[in-house]
Amino acid sequence: MTSRVYRLHSTLELPLEDVYDHFEDPDLPAEIEDVDITRRNNTLILSAVATDGEISKYTPTAQLKASVTENRVYEEEPEPPHGGSGGGQWGALTEEEEEEIESELVEYACFKGDRETVLQNTSVQFPMFKVLCDIAEIAEKGTLTAIIAIDDTLEAVQIVDGERRPASIGVTEDPADDQGEDGVDWRDNDFIA
């Protein structure tokens, strides 16, 4: 069985802690023995450890790359300030309005970009794509879309906010070929000197 990833676009975001929890006891494809997780500053790299012992140790295996960002998460959504209720001055705060809403800084792994940005290297690339799909299914926010080939049959994949959705492949014209007569011909324009 030959499988490939042709197109991929990801906007996935999930708490970094969820990524680490997922890989404590992952259900990995047969071609991947383990996933090494490395963090370099604000970059998270998930590297495949191939099951096949014949892959040279010098052959770079597929890896997933994510940027790590901090987001402030509120326990309750902050409400807009209330309008004045008779007799109050502009800018005067009541005790209720002075209360701060509980929040914390949470680190997020952001798998954002196209195939070369998110899914790198070709050795065991398709099994590592399956790992990315598993991550997409636990992500609360973001979309993963891809065109894959399994035994020469093209398939579309779409996972939105952790849920698999039906997807189809459409053929469109190249935007460069779609320059009809409605466009402006900038080279022969009398108004440009």
Q: pTM higher than 0.85, yes or no?
A: no
Look at residue 38 and tell me if it is in a domain: yes
For the stretch 82-119, pLDDT in tens is 554 545 555 555 555 556 778 888 999 999 999 889 99
Rounded mean pLDDT, 57-67: 92
Please report which confidence band the pLDDT of residue 187 belongs to, taking 50, 70 and 90 as the band edges.
Answer: low
Counting beta carbons within 10 angstroms of the beta carbon of residue 95, is it exposed (0 to 12), middle (13 to 18) or buried (19 or more)? exposed
Res 175: pLDDT: 61
Look at residue 84 and tell me if it is in a domain: no
Q: Identify the domain containing residue 119 by its residue range.
A: 3-75+103-171
Look at residue 89 and tell me if it is in a domain: no
Radius of gyration, CA atoms only, the chain: 24
Look at residue 152 and tell me if it is in a domain: yes
Look at residue 81 and tell me if it is in a domain: no
Please report which confidence band the pLDDT of residue 51 belongs to, taking 50, 70 and 90 as the band edges.
Answer: very high
Look at residue 158 and tell me if it is in a domain: yes
Q: Number of structural domains, the chain? A: 1
